[in-house]
Structure 1
Amino acid sequence: MKPVHILFEDNHVLVVEKPVNIPSQEDATGDPDMLTILKEDIKVRYNKPGNVYLGLVHRLDRPVGGAMVFAKTSKAASRLSETVRSRTLHKEYIAVVHGHPPTTHGKLVHHLLKDVRTNIVSVVPKGTRDAKEAILEYHVLEQADGMSLVRVVLHTGRPHQIRVQMNAIGCPLFGDQKYGAHVNKAGQQIALWSFELGFPHPVTKESLLFHSLPPDMYPWNIWSELHVQSKSDL
């Protein structure tokens, strides 16, 4: 595979552009994963002997690409993990969905339950045992060919959250075989991308913000432009 595109790196953090269809960490498939690939890359680039430390701060679903941050020290890992828990790790996505959301700007609140045996997440009534609240905001940027380009801000980080919540309002993601098989064709790549990632630097406390754009291919390339707006626009 091609070398992973590095968006930012210092002694404490590593921000990269995750390619699609690579697991964030080792899974049952045994396929190459981001954590292993990046550890080996650091080992080679810096000629480091022995094991390389790299902490997984957050995950992206295997079919999803885009901006992702890793910690290069245990102190950075601890502090970045706290930003995840306190919801100060800013994660923003762009997605192509089938149909048109009911409003151009909306907030979705659902309760989600994951079946660990099937790896399927479902919307369930509030109060369901083991269910977790999921909150996101979306903003419709453009509409064409019966689809919508939407920008999504996550307020919680639940498994498959965007895919499940958008499907719940009748707008499954383009290419999503798990939650949109009734409108997608086998083999299509899911159109979900980690577009914007922001967090305070774990040591300097400087506010960092990174962007990553999806590849110039269908369905991303049917839009006149992929809007790069500040998070204050949502």
Structure 2
Amino acid sequence: MAEDLDIPQEETPDEVYERKVYHVDKGQEPMRIDKWVQIRLEGASRNKIQNAIEAGFLTVNGKQEKNNYKVRPGDEIVLMSLVNPDYTEVKPENIPLNIVYEDDAIMVVNKPPNMVVHPGVGNYTGTLLNGIAYHLLQQNPGLVEEDLPRYGLVHRIDKNTTGLLVIAKTSEAAAHLAKQFFNHTVSRKYVALVWGDVEQEEGTIEAHIARHERFRKQFAAYPEGEVGKHAITHYKVLERFHYTTLVECVLETGRTHQIRVHMKHIGHTLFNDWEYGGDRILKGTVYTKYKQFVDNCFDICSRCALHAKTLGFIHPVTQKEMFFESPVPDDILQVLDKWRTYVKAKASQINQEG
């Protein structure tokens, strides 16, 4: 189900679907629900709307209804709609996928670094979704986006972030998963290496997120007022290296660049996150040996040090809770080992000097 919203690709939040709520006017004459929705969604075909209603993307007063349901005054209609219906054609490409789990309704994939999740301006090919489309069409050659919008994509992660994504293989599964993401019942844990020595062992960051006022490709945290969208991140320290800290982040909401923006907001920019200034020394000395050490770390992990490690949700068909975990990739592991060695050597040097 899609609505024509003018939102740039980089502003698409982690969740691909959003919740739209409509209330039927008091003077509304009885009208089929599919026709009523079509009037309100510019450019949406009747067939597309009917498919969405049948799949469960729409509820009336909390219940799923058929296309022939007649709307009544006072009805509350809730629609799960694509946030950014990017109509860029998804060309199937034979791209290897790291599939962690798959059945007839869903599949869970482990995304590598430097891969965009879906096509858009500047990235028309080579995306994860190009590979997913090819994979699904091998199983169902007649599949079209009209039947499965965006080939089952229900959430995303940034290009340089690695880790787990769940993909719906049916429109019914997509509707079920989209509702779970909106209701914040999906469990998502990330690991991130951040600059500085995080003061508290654990905490919660609660700040609105909106596009940066000066740098339009960045986002910023706005603690008060009505600017941006509400966002909550819970964090916990996993390991300390004095100059940097390894943290676990649990998302309660899924805003654009949420972890990156929230951690910078509390003074701990992600390691080598060039968009937010993490690709320079933010803690430590400027002496040559230390700078060389940090540069070596940047070379090893030439991206933002962020990994979507765990993913948990309710299976759309079996209703059973499913939980997946992805090992931290080698580039981040190697950098962690270098920081352990560096901190140990530094402590040994201080002891000898003392």
Q: TM-score range by the shorter chain?
A: 0.7 to 0.9
2:137 maps to 1:43: yes
Q: 1:175 to 1:207 in 2, by over 3 A?
A: same
Contact kept? 1:4, 1:19, Cα under 8 Å: no
* Distance in 2 of aligned mates of 1:216 and 1:86: 33
Give the equivalent residue in structure 2 for 1:204. 318
Residue among 213, 217, 236 paired with 1:119: 217
Residue among 200, 212, 219 paired with 1:103: 200
* Distance in 2 of aligned mates of 1:211 and 1:95: 15
| 1:69-218 correspondence to structure 2 within 5 Å | 69-115=166-212, 118-129=216-227, 131-144=228-241, 146-181=243-278, 183=280, 188-217=302-331, 218=334
| Displacement of 1:223 | 7.1
Give the equivalent residue in structure 2 for 1:66. 163
Q: 1:113 to 1:4 in 2, by over 3 A?
A: same
**Cα distance per residue 1:24-59 (max 9 Å; x no partner):** 111211241111111112333x3x323354211111
Structure 1: state its 5+ residue gaps. 225-234
Residue among 91, 112, 118 paired with 1:25: 118
* Distance in 1 of aligned mates of 2:336 and 2:125: 27
Contact kept? 2:195, 2:278, Cα under 8 Å: no
Q: 1:159 to 1:141 in 2, by over 3 A?
A: same
| Displacement of 1:166 | 0.4
Structure 1 stretch 174-183 or stretch 194-203: which is displaced more?
A: 174-183
> How many residues were matched structurally?
221
The one-letter code sitting in structure 1 at the alignment partner of 2:329 is P
**Cα distance per residue 1:100-120 (max 9 Å; x no partner):** 112011111111112598231
| Displacement of 1:183 | 2.4
Contact kept? 2:96, 2:131, Cα under 8 Å: no
When the two chains are superposed, the root-mean-square deviation of aligned CA atoms in Å is: 2.2
**Max radius of gyration: which structure?**
2
The one-letter code sitting in structure 2 at the alignment partner of 1:42 is L
Structure 2: state its 5+ residue gaps. 1-93, 282-294, 341-354
Query: Which structure: greater strand fraction?
Result: 1
Task: Calculate the TM-score normalised by the size of structure 2.
Answer: 0.58
Identity %: 35
| Displacement of 1:220 | 4.1
Task: Calculate the TM-score normalised by the size of structure 1.
Answer: 0.86
* Distance in 2 of aligned mates of 1:27 and 1:206: 34
Contact kept? 1:167, 1:180, Cα under 8 Å: no
* Distance in 2 of aligned mates of 1:195 and 1:32: 23
**Cα distance per residue 1:168-199 (max 9 Å; x no partner):** 11111111011124626687211100000000
| Displacement of 1:87 | 0.4
* Distance in 2 of aligned mates of 1:220 and 1:43: 40
